[in-house]
Amino acid sequence: MKIFKKIAIYYLIMALLVSAAYSFAPRASAAPELALNCGAAVLADMETGALLYSFNPDAKMHPASLTKLMTAVVALDAYQNGKAALSDVVTCSPNIYSDVDGDASSLTLAAGERITFEDLLYCVIMTSANEPCNAVAEHISGSISGFIDEMNDMAASLGCTGTHFSNTHGLSDSNNYSTARDLMLILRKAMSIPLFAKITATEEYTVPATNMAEERVLKNTNNLIRERSTYYYEYAKGGKTGYTEAAGFCLASCAQKGDVHLISVVLKTNSVVLSDGTTQVQSFTETKRLFQWGFSNFSYKTVLSTMRIVREVDVELGNGANKVALRPAEPIILLIDNSADVSKIEYTVRLNTPEGETLTAPITAGEELGEADVMINGVSYGTVKLVANYSVELDKAKYISSQIQNTLKNGVVRFIIIALILMFVAYITFIILYNVRRRQKKKAADELARQRIEAIRAKEALTTGLSFEEIEKKQELTGRYRRR
């Protein structure tokens, strides 16, 4: 009894420390406070992956058998890509126990035992047996180390930033770690694979007899889905359990109530001896509390409808309109805190134009013109594409004028135009000077001709005794006669 009392006191102290630490933890929601007895936890929307609750979400911790989530994801990815078939018969090698402790969870597979790939998947996901993970790894990648490399590559591709795997099963290793946020991403990926969702929701499964063993009856370790369990939760849809001394009790799970689909990860919980002498595993109780909190405080709301005018923006060269209204291309319907006031929505609009430039006609109704970040009370709720609410036709006269103006702004064009103007001015100047000189020459020639005529008349007057008038008249008559 003294030992049990010490254990109870120890767990009580741990619970108080965790609760104290939680009061300083960042919250992903304005919903009522929730203090969980765990080392880290997240609750997210299964559809979007958006966090609804977080406590130490990025703390690197031992994931225990939650590691098997990634083992399953890589194996099922190979299955979906045709690298493996469920009917494949896998012959177990002696390597499957190379890094498995004697006290670890086991299916007692033997070297040389032949078992189907499908049955191995049930062993990995449902009962959390360790050596089947290595059997799967060798079948998919040819070696355990090669498979682990694929696990780490897959983690990176899913956006996991605090995760590294050093084995396929999750037995304690300082180089095998993850975070609550990353494990949520991995489970979300796993649940998107129909076969994983089917296996993880199965309560019992019978592995047929093999060449070296009788049939085995498997029972799902996730008591949230077992109807006869005291931890049964009617909305639970599956998940994965884990436990090692270093990791504590861990659970990654998902649940659905109505149209709300949640995903949770709870790490480093304990088992507590209750007053009636029964033992309570807190990974199940805290996960259930987390789901209940989520379903009670979150629901789907239309944050932004397609009828909402986000902003009017200026439009250049429009025919009869110099602005266009922008609306969302799609509605934003999100799982958000029930207390969130969607009427206090704010936007940060970005147009699909270079910075400092405005939109230019023509614009067609429904044309994508930009995007907007949506905020409510300082909390981001995503980004939405913005489209034109109506069309704006092009004013051709304004367009031609703008083209001319834009052309004139071109340095080369301006140089050519100035050069042409100077050439034209020079040409006109040349023509004027030429005509002036021509008139001067003609005037000089006329004056010379007049002087010659007068000289002739003077000479004839001297010889004939006629006056200038008589001579001029005579010359006129002579000219008429000659013309006839």
Q: Which residues are catalytic?
A: 65, 68, 128
Element (H, E) at 12: helix 2-22
Tokens of 62: 């031992």
Q: What crossing angle do the helices spanning 67-80 and 117-125 adopt, rounded to 10°?
A: 150
DSSP code at position 386: E
Alpha carbons within 13 A on the beta-carbon side of 132: 25
CB crowding 96-122: b at 16 or more within 10 Å, else e: bbebbeeebbbbebeeebebbbbbbbb
Q: What crossing angle do the helices spanning 411-464 and 396-408 adopt, rounded to 10°?
A: 80
Cβ(211)–Cβ(114) below 8 Å: yes
Q: Tell me, what amino acid is at 2? A: K
Cα–Cα distance for residue pair 36/273, rounded to 1 Å: 17
DSSP code at position 234: T
Among residues 148, 177, 173, which one has the least CA distance to residue 162?
177
DSSP code at position 358: P
